[in-house]
Amino acid sequence: MHNGIDLDVYFEIILYPVAALFIIEMVCRLTKIANWIKLLTQAVMCVGFGIAYLAMHVAHWLTAAVLLALAIALFYQAKLSKVNPQRALY
C-alpha cells in the first residue's frame, strides 16, 4: 500500500522536528536560557509542526499525533519547571 509519499520524504518529515528540538536545546544551553522557556519553545515548535503536517495534502496524521502528544508532555514539564525547578525532571 502506497500513501503517495516516498521513503526519503518520510525520513525528512521525521528529521525536521528532531533537528529543531536539537537546535533549540543547543541554543538554550549556549545562551543559558531558563529551562521552562526552552521547554515551552520546544512545545510550541511541536505544535507548529503537528498542525503543518495535518494541513499537508498527503496525510501525516500519525506523525502529527506523536508531535502533539510530545507537545502536551513538554507543556507539562515547562509548567513543572516554572513552578518548582527542583521538581522538574530536566
Please state, in angstroms and rounded to a whole number, the distance separating the CA atoms of residues 75 and 72: 5
Q: Is residue 31 part of a domain?
A: yes
Q: Is residue 76 part of a domain?
A: yes
Domain count, the chain: 1
Mind listing the pLDDT tens digit for each residue in 32-48? 999 999 999 999 999 99
Mind listing the pLDDT tens digit for each residue in 31-87? 999 999 999 999 999 999 999 888 876 657 888 889 999 999 999 999 988 888 776
Higher per-residue confidence, 76 vs 8 = 76
Residue 40 near residue 80 (C-beta atoms within 8 A): no
- Give residue 62's domain range: 7-83
Task: List, as one string, the DSSP characters of 25-61.
Answer: HHHHHHHT--HHHHHHHHHHHHHHHHHHHHHSSS--H
Whole-number pLDDT of residue 33: 92
Q: Which three cell numbers stand for residue 54?
A: 495535518
Q: Is residue 54 part of a domain?
A: yes
- Residue 90: pLDDT band (50, 70, 90) is low
